[in-house]
Amino acid sequence: MKKPTLAAAMSALVWGSGQIYNKQLAKGLAFFAIQMTLIAVEMLGGNYFSGAFEFREAGFFVSGIWGMITLGTQLSELTYQGMTPGDHSVMLLLQGIIAVIILLLVAAIWFGNVKDAYQTAKNFNETGMVLSSKKWLKDTWEKSFEYIMMVPAGLMLVFFVAMPIIFAVVIAFTNHNLHNMPPANLIEWVGLRNFRFLFSIGDIPGGDMWLHTFTNIFIWTIIFAVVSTIVPFFLGLFQAVILNNKRIKFKKLWRSILILPWAMPAIISQLNFRQIFNGRFGPFNRFFMNIGLMDPYSPIEWLSDPRNPWLPRGTILVIGFWLGFPYWMALMSGLMTSISKDVYEAAEIDGASEGQQFWKITLPMVIAMAAPLLVMSFAFNFNNFGLIYFLTEGGPINVNFIHAGQTDILISWIFSLTMDEMMYNLASAMSIIIFIIIGSLSAWNFARTKAFKEEL
Amino acid sequence: MEAKVHLSQNKKAKAKNTMVTILLYSQIILVCFIVLIPIIWVIGSSFNPGTTLASAQMFPDNPTLRHYIDLFRDTNYLNWYFNTFKIAVIHTIFSVFLSTSTGYVFSRFVFKGKKAALITMLILQMFPSFMAMVALYVLFLTFGLLDTHWALILIYAAGQIPVNTWVIKGYLTSIPKELDESAMLDGASKLQTFSKIIFPLMKPIISFVAVTAFMTPWMDFIFPRLILSSNANWTLAVGLFDMITGTDMNNYTMFAAGAVLVAIPITILYVAMQKYLIEGVTAGASKG
């Protein structure tokens, strides 16, 4: 007779001991080894056995968690005895996050270990049998196949996608910026100060100018995202309809030409357009100068006119149409051919004209099918960094904005705040705001799809 | 009399028909022009003898291959090309392996935490990717992976998992589950069912994942800019950007030559694979 609760309690304290009590030696030792590794990493990695204890010198997990809470307490200083030990707030924060993630994974294994000890003992009481560790391994492989398959992808997601995002989110609650750069300075937790600053709540000097910049850029971002989703969509639809007209011969040839803007690497087209629309030397203006339609001494600065922000913005939008319509054209052609021929035959028998067939059948069906893609495209354009950055790098400069130009959208503004101005805290705070906008939109979009309703 | 009216009506209809045809063709030809001119311009510029934008001509009087030669002689262009290609190939292999396995698991099995995992992936994918920039920089700094291509491959391979899992899961709903079940009845293990039965049937969607994965390093600018500091390690996007905006700002024609050499193979690949690309996009969105 085995006592399930005893087995579970043993395993809870000393991993694997419950399994050994259940006579599953190999499995027990495996669990025990995991626990020992964990303890060894902590004890041997830290400085536990030489007098005065300091959190700074504890092992990976303890010092990580301490570091995450305090963000470091002392700076390295140069004294006549050499450099004193100092804290690097960012490294500590990162270490803390990694430590917490690993501990959570370990906790999951620990839980499995306790549950397994309990279950095996209970099974033994009922059936009088204990699986050998080898048989157990084979069973587990087949039973946990789905989990095991996901381990590599899961680990990569946790460490290269989730962890950095968590880090970025928590940075929004610190004062990490150009003036607080480890290792020269320590950074501190500041609560919601960055958000209050962004929205000008309370008296933080300079806040109103931020709000001004933020509001303006935000409005332009929305306009930019909406226009560069809707217009290419309809241009593409229009082009697909014309291309698929039965009067047109050599469809394949035309299609291959028209699809080029989508097929070419976007960065190359964008950098190329930046040159083509150069005010003084660009071929576009030179052409008009040569035929005498433009004064060479006051050319139109398509992408850099400092007086009228809507000129560079408009140019960007038009270039976006060029880049964007072929995707929709290709997609629409695909969707249109997927509509069953029977529908059209039935319509023809009922005497519907070509035009009626298009407006009453093709268009509504195609739009219904493309709707989720439209929302995805909006989310993409909202963060369409390349179209802005490679054409204008956000310029021309607007003196009333903080570190932003006339054509900057949120994403390119955040990029320069991070890369050039090192305002990590504010950049993170704004990323969170973007995420809330895009996230709720996509979630709403997704919740309406068939996939979601069926699956969850 | 009646027949005559009919005839003239017929004539009218024919004339109208011709008009429509002409209109349609002129629209298509016009748009083709708009599409082609910037492309011809960049190709033409690359053969110009001068180096500045101001002197570049669409159809140069004395075409030269000078810039193509300079590209290989004076810059690290060949390195960049090779780097990008290397990252693209390794990333493709990683992506196909990682996302087909997760996509398969999510489409076929019911298990604890499935719902939570799917939603988490959906949320992760909504964060602007470079939000992770600072953390990734520190992470790779700590592990000594800065200025290496492995850092980029890891970022790309991890970043594509959420989207592609959803896309593959969507595609797999069109492959009947009975196939899996009968294979398992015949005694195949889950791994065998996946690798022998389902994986070969996933060819179209794997092509989609592979092409998009292969394209990523050719297009992406933010991460190579962040991680690769030495010129010889750059990818093409960073190198070409630097040619236009960096210290050799005037060297437009060399940029053009470099751009042409990248654009040709990529464009051909894209046009050839467009069927799969469109199929993949719709699988992710509507079939779900």
A117 near B CB under 8 A: no
How far CA B285 is from CA of A241, B118, B163, in Å, comes to 22, 15, 11
B191 phi and psi angles, rounded to 5 deg: -65, -40
Q: How distant is the Cα of A23 from the closest Cα of chain B, in angstroms?
A: 28
Nearest CA in chain B to A328: B278
Cβ proximity of B165 and B277 under 8 Å? no
Cα separation of B125 and B160, whole Å? 9
Q: What share of chain B is helix, strand, coil (3-state, %, to 5)?
A: 80, 0, 20
The verdict on a CB contact (< 8 Å) between A271 and B191 is: no
Average pLDDT over residues A260-285: 89
Tell me the mean pLDDT in the region A320-344: 86
**Res A452 pLDDT > 80:** no
pLDDT digits (tens, 9 = 90+) for A350-381: 888 878 888 888 888 888 777 777 877 887 89
Q: At residue A179, does pLDDT exceed 80?
A: yes
Does B35 sit within 8 Å of A260, measured CB to CB? yes
CB contacts, 8 Å: A455 with chain B: 115, 118, 288
pLDDT of amino acid B285 = 56
pLDDT the model gives residue B275 = 81
**What residues of chain A, 225 to 244, have a C-beta less than 8 Å from chain B?**
239, 242-243
Cβ distance of B252 and A275 shorter than 8 Å: yes
Predicted pLDDT at A394: 85
Reported in sequence order, the residue ranges of chain B that DSSP labels E, i.e. its strands, are none
Task: State the average pLDDT over residues A274-288.
Answer: 87
- Percent helix, percent strand, percent coil in chain A, to nearest 5: 70, 0, 30
Chain-chain contact of B282 with A456 (C-beta, under 8 angstroms): no
Q: Please judge whether B35 and A322 are an interchain contact, meaning their C-beta atoms are less than 8 angstroms apart.
A: yes
Among A153, A281, A331, the residue with its CB nearest the CB of B102 is A153
Q: Which residue of A has its CA nearest to B153?
A: A160
- Nearest residue in chain B measured CA to CA from A334: B278
Q: Is the dihedral of CA A336, A337, A339, A341 positive or negative?
A: positive
Is the CB of residue A401 less than 8 Å away from at least one CB of chain B?
no
Task: Region of B52 please: left (phi>0), alpha (psi -120 to 50) or beta.
Answer: beta
Nearest CA in chain A to B135: A164
Nearest 5°: the CA angle A250, A254, A256 is 115
CA atoms of A116 and A110, how far apart (whole Å):
10
Test B131 with A455 for CB contact under 8 angstroms.
Answer: no
Q: Which of B57, B84, B115, B127 to mutate to test the interface with A (most CBs of A within 10 A)?
A: B127
pLDDT at B247: 58
Q: CA B9, CA B70: separation in Å to the nearest integer?
A: 66
Please give the structure tokens belonging to residue A5. Answer: 């609760």
Rounded Cα–Cα distance for residues B279 and B281 (Å): 6
Distance from CA of A1 to the nearest CA of B (A): 31
CA-based torsion, A101, A103, A109, A115: positive or negative: negative
Put simply, whether A248 touches B (Cβ < 8 Å) is yes
- Closest CB to B158 among A160, A280, A334: A160
Number of neighbouring beta carbons within 10 Å of residue B118: 19
Give the pLDDT confidence score for residue A450 in this predicted structure: 61
Minimum mean pLDDT among A235-249, A277-291, B112-126: which range?
A: B112-126
Instruction: State yes or no: pLDDT of A451 exceeds 80.
Output: no
Stated pTM of the model: 0.83
Cβ-based contacts under 8 A for chains A and B: 259
Given a cut of 70, whether residue A412 has pLDDT beyond it is yes
What's residue B287's pLDDT? 42
d(CA A263, CA A330) in angstroms, rounded, equals 11
CA nearest to A240 within chain B: B28
- For residue B288, the model assigns a pLDDT of 38
pLDDT of B95: 93
- Kindly determine whether residue B218 and residue A150, on different chains, have CB atoms separated by under 8 Å: no
Per-residue pLDDT of chain B (288 residues; tens, 9 = 90+): 555 666 677 888 888 888 989 999 999 999 999 999 999 999 998 998 887 787 788 888 888 888 899 889 888 999 999 999 999 999 999 999 999 999 999 888 888 788 888 878 877 777 777 677 777 888 888 888 999 999 999 999 998 998 888 888 888 877 888 888 888 888 888 888 888 888 888 888 898 899 989 988 998 888 998 899 899 999 999 998 888 876 555 678 888 999 999 999 988 988 888 888 887 777 665 543
Among A146, A276, A456, beta carbon nearest to B38: A276
Mean of the per-residue pLDDT values for chain A? Answer: 85
Averaged over A60-66, what is the pLDDT? 87
Q: Which of A246-260, A313-327, A329-343, B137-151 has the lowest mean pLDDT?
A: A329-343
Q: Within 13 Å of residue A39, how many CA atoms lie on the same side as its CB?
A: 9
Give the pLDDT score at A205.
66
The continuous run of DSSP H or E covering A82 comes out as strand A82-83
Does any CB of chain B come closer than 8 Å to the CB of residue A256?
A: yes
**How far is Cα B256 from Cα B47, in angstroms, rounded to an integer?**
9
